[in-house]
Structure formats: C-alpha cells, structure tokens
Amino acid sequence: MKSLKTSLLGVFVLLLLLPAAYNRVVHSQTQKGDPPTGQANVALSDDDVERQCSIDTEVAPCLNCPVPTEAPTGFDNKTIDENFVPQEKHDAHRATFEVRDQILPDDIQDGGLGPVYNAQSCAECHQNPVSGAVSQITELRAGFLDNPCDPWGFDCPQFVDPPGGSLINDRAVDMRVKDTGEANIQERVPPLHSAGLDRPADVATTRTSLNLLGDGLVEAISNQTLLDIAAKETNENSNVHGLPIRVPVEENRNGRCRIGRFGHKDQHASLLSFSGDAYLNEIGITNRLFLMENTSLGRSVANFDFVPNDETIPCDDQITPPGQRQFCGEDSGRDIDTFTIFMRATEAPPRDAAIAATQDAKDGEEIFHIIGCAICHRDTIVTAMPGTAINLGTFKVPDALGNKIIHPYGDFLLHDIGTGDGIVQNGGPKTRLLVRTAPLWGVRTHTRLMHDGLSLTFAANTLPFASAIKRHGGEAQFASDTFFAMSTIKQRKLVIFLESL
C-alpha cells in the first residue's frame, strides 16, 4: 500500500510539473510567451506562442470578381507596373539596394556597417542574373541541443541559441580602427574560448541566399490561401504535411500574426520585416524595426561601433507611420522602406521560353506532377484581390500585385524532407527539423541547391539536379524514390523541365 501511495504521489507531482516542463524556455534572449524582439536571429522558445497568435484571413469580399491575370515576369530590371512604381523610381530604388554600406559616416552615407556583418550591400547576396535574384553566397548558423527531454518525450532535444542568436557573422570591423586594444570581435562557430564558449556547437549549417524577385507577389498571397494549400496537400497525399506558421509583423507588433513565407524557416511574413532583419543581421545597420546592435556571440561590440546610441537617432523625415517609432538608428534615410518598395516592384522570375516549348520539357512537367513533386512545388497560386489589407493592416494590395496568377513552384510552407538544419527561429521548437519548400522559379540560375547549398546542379556522373533530388526524404521520399526508379529517358525529361524554370 505504501508503494501504491508513493506511485500515486509521484504521478500527481509529475502532472503538477508538466506544464512548466513542457513550456520551458529555450536559453536565448527571448522571454517565455513573447515572440523574439530587437534581434531577429534568436529563437522563439514556445510553440504555444505561435499557435495562439491570431491572424486575419486576408480575404476581401468580392462580387463578380474579375478573372485573375498572369503576373509579369522577366530578368530585365523592369518595374512590375509603371502605375505602381514608375521605372525611373524603380531604378533609383535598385541603386539604393546596390549601395555598398561603409563603417564611417561621410557626406553621402550615414555609416554604421557592422560591427559584425556578412555583406556590405543587399546586392552582394542577391544579384544573379540581376539585382534581387540569387547568388552563391551563404550564411552560417549554429546552436546547441538541450537535454533532457520533457516528461512526455516531446520536442527533444530542444534547440538552444548561442549567446546573441544562431546567426554567426562571417565578417567584423577591424579592431584597429578605434585602437581599442581589445580582442577581435570576429564570430566563429563555438567553441570560441575567448568569448567564454567552451562547449562545441551541436548544430552548424550554411544557408543559401534566396531569390527576392517576385516577392511582392508572394507577400500578396493571403493567409487563407496558404492555409488552404496546407489542407489540400494532406488530402492529396497523407504523408505530406505542409506546416503554415504564424509569425509577428515587425511593423505592427500588436500581439497578432501573419502566416510566414519568407526565409528558409518562413521566419517573416512581410517584406518590410525581412528588410529590417536583413539590414541588421546581414549588414549590421540598425533601423526603425531593430534598434539594438547585434553582439559578437554575446560580447558587446559597443567599442567598435562608430554610430553609438542608435535608439536616439531620429529619422531624417518626419513621417511616423501609426504604431512606428520616430527613431531610425543607423538607417536615418529609411533604406529598409526603399528596399521593400524595390522588392515589391520586381517582376517574377521568367521561364526559359525556348526550353519550355520543347516536347521534352512538356513531358518532364507531366512527370513532375505524376510522381508527386508538384504537391509541394505548386505550380500556380493566385494572389489576394487588389485593395485587400495585409500585414496586419499596414499595406493594401495594389492593382499591380492583386489577383495575379504566379508560378512559384513552391508552397511557402515548412516540411520535413530529412534535410532540416536543426535551427529554430520564429516557428517554435516544432520547426527545428523543418525547412520551407524551395520555390523553383528561376532555379536554372542556381549553381548550389537545397537550403545549405551543398547539392550542386551538376555532380560527377549524374544528371543535373539529381544530387538535390536524392537528398529528398521524409515527406518527399516517395517522389525521390520514384524519380530514381524511372528510366533514364524519363529522368532526363524531368531535368529538362527543371532547366526551363
């Protein structure tokens, strides 16, 4: 009887402790119950935060809705619509996108590059074949895995950010510039003993630069459309479970969310949020959405910062959108807004018309659908109607982007295909081994494939793209196995189709 009472007492104590154990905070700069703020490269620690964040459907009522039209495409630096952004302005915005930022301010630039960073301009990572597209550049992320598991064995091991977040910047300003005499602030994958990090990282991965062309159209996809795609995928194949995640919109942090769609982890839902994140984390420029400088693996970089007190630097203009701060940090000219307008006005990546017209490419596209690739790499999506309020009411879909047919060959959802990088960002612990379906529009311009860039478009003694297809497991295992079980002729036709994208 004593043994039974002891057992029951143990169960009672376990049940009391379970909520705290299950929702424990991953060691990062975030607090339990709050999406990450200030620095966009730290992990959301609690799945419940993401699940409970409400969203709008973003479906506007429509009587006698017009027939959707094809979105413009092209690698030609043209604006998507002269009535939306005139070509002259689009060219000026592209020039800002291409400007190389610098450390010290002068008569032209505010300065502020770094102190830790990856690139000096947006175009450095997005310029093949035109500004806004892809490149061979990768970034580096790392972290730790925390044990033991929670009492039920869920969500273990859990991802833990290194101090300052998972992004490991490849570059840092020269310590001699300010003659501080301190140790270099260059980051590296832990261990980094000079930073007090003796534990080796359990997770380390590269991330490829992503195409930005046509992302204004992607931003204009309604939340409901992405939710419908997720439901449809499961109906088409019970082994496919595309996950839509709810993430904050940095320009209107009101406790509500939007379905993520940008980044390898769907960590952002708006192009302005993405711009603010990238300007800070990739170039080191604080801005009105992210006023806090990154650290160097937890070490302060204040002594290397030539533009201090970022939170007191006002914007050059007097424009303060509702709910927005009046301070712009090192981005006093609101470059993040210019980047956003530029991306919204880019055309979607075009197909190679000559290859697409061949019978081999047409046969290959049919095979692509038959073996199940198109369940996740969806060929057609229609954007929200013009006038629809998106991004928590901060932007209305213009005529240039609304009710447009796009062919991204992606679903903008997270999946488990066996190549997950182990990193958690805005989606919570459940996303650790998930990655976004790579949109295949423009894939013929990519020399390195998959999220880590480790699959080459051509590997010795294989068909182009075969190394990437081979790595597809999990939800994509059947499609991958079917491809390699097909005749060489059918494989070649499918590859020719991919070469047309």
Q: Is there a contact between 132 and 212 (Cβ–Cβ < 8 Å)?
A: yes
The DSSP line for 381-392 is EEPPPTT-EETT
Report the amino acid identity of residue 87. Answer: Q
Which of 131-140, 224-233, 272-281, 319-328 has the least mean pLDDT?
319-328
**Mean pLDDT, residues 280-288 taken together:** 95
Q: pLDDT tens across 252-274, in order? A: 988 899 999 999 999 999 999 99
CA angle at 9 for the pair 7 and 12, rounded to the nearest 5°: 110
Which of 160-164, 283-287, 326-330 has the least mean pLDDT?
326-330
Question: Which DSSP state fits 43?
Answer: -
Which of 175-184, 376-385, 437-446 has the least mean pLDDT?
175-184
**Mean pLDDT, residues 89-110 taken together:** 90
CA angle at 132 for the pair 131 and 133, rounded to the nearest 5°: 95
pLDDT of the residue at 4 = 32
Report how far residue 289's alpha carbon sits from residue 276's, in angstroms, rounded to the nearest whole number: 6
Closest C-alpha among 214, 220, 217 to residue 130: 214
Which of 121-135, 224-238, 309-323 has the least mean pLDDT?
309-323
pLDDT of the residue at 320 = 57
Question: Which DSSP state fits 245?
Answer: -
Report how far residue 236's alpha carbon sits from residue 283's, in angstroms, rounded to the nearest whole number: 42
Q: Is there a contact between 187 and 241 (Cβ–Cβ < 8 Å)?
A: no
Q: pLDDT tens across 10-59, in order? A: 333 333 333 333 222 222 233 333 433 445 567 766 666 677 899 999 99
Residue 329: which residues within 8 A CB-CB, separation 6 or more?
Answer: 112, 285, 286, 287, 288, 290, 291, 307, 310, 311, 313
Q: Bigger pLDDT: 152 or 272?
A: 272
Three-state secondary-structure class, residue 208: strand
Query: Looking at the predicted structure, is the pLDDT value of residue 442 above 90?
Result: yes
Query: Looking at the predicted structure, is the pLDDT value of residue 63 above 60?
Result: yes
Question: Residues, the chain, total?
Answer: 501
- How many helices, marked H, and strands, marked E, lie in the chain? 13, 17
φ, ψ for residue 346 (rounded to 5)? -80, 150
| Integer angstrom CA distances of residue 71 from 150, 163, 216, 339 | 48, 43, 11, 21
Q: At what angle do helices 359-370 and 488-499 cross, to 10 degrees?
A: 100
Asked whether the whole model's pTM tops 0.85, one would answer yes
pLDDT of the residue at 24 = 25
Report how far residue 122's alpha carbon sits from residue 99's, in angstroms, rounded to the nearest whole number: 8
In the chain, the percentage of residues whose pLDDT exceeds 70 is 84
Report how far residue 182's alpha carbon sits from residue 410's, in angstroms, rounded to the nearest whole number: 47
**Mean pLDDT, residues 354-379 taken together:** 99
Averaged pLDDT score across all residues of the chain: 87
